[in-house]
C-alpha cells in the first residue's frame, strides 16, 4: 500500500507542477494579449483621429476654394484679369487639397476598420460609423471644392 501511496503522491506533485507551469504560461499569454489589444486600440484611435482631421482639412479646403471662387468672380466683374486668374488657381489648388484630404481620410478610415476588426463587435461598429462619417464629410467637401474651382475658372475665363 505504501508503494501505491508513493506513486500517487508523486503523480499529484507532477500534476501540481504542470498546473503551475500552465498558470505561468497563461499569465504570459494574457499579458501579451493585453499588450496587443492596447496597441490595437491606440492604432484604431489614432486612425479615427487621422480620418477626422483629414475630413476637417477637406472642409477647410472647401472653404478656401469657395473664398477663392468668390474672389475670382469679384475680380472678373471688375475686369482684373490677373487677380481673377490667381483666384481661380487658388480655388483649383484648394480643390486639389480637398481631394487629397479625402483620400487621406479614406486611407485612415480603412486602417481604423482593419484594426477595429480585431477588437469587440461594439468597438468595430463604433469605429466604422465614425470613420464612415468622416470619409463622407471629406468626399462632400471635395465635391463642393471642385464646384467652387469650376466657378472660379469660369469667372476667370469670362474676361
Asked if residues 97 and 57 have their Cβ atoms less than 8 Å apart, the reply is: yes
- Asked whether residue 153 is assigned to any structural domain, the reply reads yes
Give the model confidence (pLDDT) of 76-124 as tens digits.
889 898 999 999 999 999 999 999 999 999 999 888 888 888 888 888 8
Give the model confidence (pLDDT) of 13-33 as tens digits.
999 999 999 999 999 999 999
Q: What's the number of domains the chain is made of?
A: 1
Whole-model pTM over 0.75: no
- Asked whether residue 11 is assigned to any structural domain, the reply reads no
Structural domain boundaries, residue 85? 44-157
- Taking the chain, what is the end-to-end CA distance rounded to the nearest angstrom? 113
- Asked whether residue 9 is assigned to any structural domain, the reply reads no
- Asked whether residue 30 is assigned to any structural domain, the reply reads no
**CA dist., res. 121 & res. 45, Å (int):** 15
- Asked whether residue 142 is assigned to any structural domain, the reply reads yes
Helix (H, G, I), strand (E, B) or coil at 11: helix
Amino acid at each position: 500500500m505504501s508503494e501505491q501511496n508513493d506513486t500517487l503522491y508523486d503523480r499529484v506533485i507532477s500534476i501540481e507542477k504542470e498546473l503551475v507551469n500552465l498558470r505561468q504560461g497563461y499569465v504570459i499569454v494574457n499579458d501579451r494579449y493585453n499588450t496587443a489589444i492596447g496597441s490595437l486600440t491606440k492604432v484604431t484611435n489614432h486612425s479615427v483621429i487621422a480620418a477626422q482631421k483629414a475630413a476637417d482639412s477637406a472642409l477647410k479646403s472647401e472653404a478656401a476654394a469657395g473664398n477663392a471662387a468668390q474672389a475670382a468672380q469679384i475680380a472678373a466683374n471688375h475686369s482684373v484679369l490677373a487677380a481673377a486668374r490667381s483666384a481661380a488657381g487658388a480655388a483649383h489648388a484648394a480643390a486639389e487639397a480637398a481631394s487629397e484630404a479625402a483620400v487621406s481620410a479614406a486611407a485612415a478610415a480603412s486602417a481604423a476598420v482593419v484594426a477595429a476588426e480585431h477588437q469587440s463587435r461594439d468597438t468595430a461598429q463604433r469605429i466604422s460609423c465614425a470613420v464612415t462619417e468622416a470619409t463622407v464629410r471629406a468626399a462632400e467637401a471635395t465635391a463642393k471644392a471642385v464646384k467652387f474651382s469650376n466657378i472660379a475658372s469660369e469667372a476667370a475665363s469670362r474676361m
